[in-house]
Structure 1
Amino acid sequence: MEMRELVAEDLELVEFARGIVDANTDGEFGVHTMGAAVREADGRMFGGINLYHFLGGPCAELVALGNARASGGREFTTIVAVGNFNRGPVGPCGRDRQILFDYHTGIRVILPTDQGIRSVRITDLMPLAARWDPDTGTQPFDPTP
């Protein structure tokens, strides 16, 4: 797996996503707890925020991708989701990974790893799954079985 340290453009994207969730969160247990940002190949950034629902409302990454597409974006280079209350970048869920893999095979994902926050190719995350639990959420990638 090729993990890259974040560059200035990546940090800008993280801050853009953080700004979205900070401006729109509605509390620790609210429905708007994750912000996301995606970068178009031409440098434009598009954002989104999740809408949690017991039926499985849309994740922030999917909202950001939909916003980007509706705004004319077609070729995406990088995506990140950031939790409210300074939780920082969080890796995409399995559904989001599959959608990114299916539609944007060249995209890089910013997420926590055992080496810190890094960007990885979506193809490196598939078919591997992220461990998730209700107490701590999505965990950093762990290559051990």
Structure 2
Amino acid sequence: MVPSVELKMLTANDRELIEYARQVIDANTDAGPDEDGAHTMGAAVRDADGRMFAGVNLYHFTGGPCAELVALGTARSNGARNITTIVAVGNHGRGVVGPCGRDRQVLFDYHPGIRVLLPTAAGLRAATIEALMPFAATWTIENGTQEFDEARFA
């Protein structure tokens, strides 16, 4: 059975997180409106205590880190252990952008149940990472790829 995707309306806290990510990338982008750059995406996360942490991407042809991964690392380095929500925002008013496949897998593996803010046909919405990764298998450092766990999608 294919898991159903339940999209939730955004909360005031979600909108605050989006604005925080937008401010961070607007203050730190290195590209003009029609230019490429190394820093063109910002991301922000919120932890269970309500604290927000941000990061910007570092584009590189070898696959530099996305803004979401930098924000997760920033949160961790500042003591955040329970990340509840994440969002990425493009520079120059490009708005909210959903996470790439690599970021989705990292979120799925390390932050079960995290809410992801993303654009949809119905506007900006929130979904759990499980909703964005139907039939995904978890990976762990200790045991590699795990068998499909249907309970994760209930």
Q: TM-score, normalised by structure 1?
A: 0.86
CA distance in 2, matches of 1:32, 1:63: 12
Q: Does 1:7 align with 2:7?
A: no
Long gaps (5+) in structure 1: 129-145
| Displacement after TM superposition at 1:127 (Å) | 3.8
CA distance in 2, matches of 1:35, 1:120: 19
Q: Deviations over 1:19-78 (max 9, x none)?
A: 110000011301100000000000000000000000000000000000000100000110
Which residue number corresponds to residue 133 of structure 2? 126
Q: Does 1:75 align with 2:79?
A: no
Long gaps (5+) in structure 2: 136-154
Q: Secondary structure at the match of 2:8?
A: strand
Q: Deviations over 1:94-122 (max 9, x none)?
A: 00000000000110000011111101000
State the one-letter code of the partner of 2:121.
D
CA distance in 1, matches of 2:28, 2:134: 33
* Pairing partner for 2:41 from 9, 34, 48: 34
| Displacement after TM superposition at 1:91 (Å) | 0.4
CA distance in 2, matches of 1:118, 1:111: 6
CA distance in 2, matches of 1:91, 1:52: 17
**How many residues matched?**
129
CA distance in 1, matches of 2:92, 2:60: 20
Q: Does 1:20 align with 2:24?
A: yes
Q: Secondary structure at the match of 1:62?
A: helix
CA root-mean-square deviation? 1.3
* Pairing partner for 1:110 from 113, 117, 134: 117
Q: Does 1:66 align with 2:70?
A: no
State the one-letter code of the partner of 2:16.
E
The structure that has the greater radius of gyration is 2
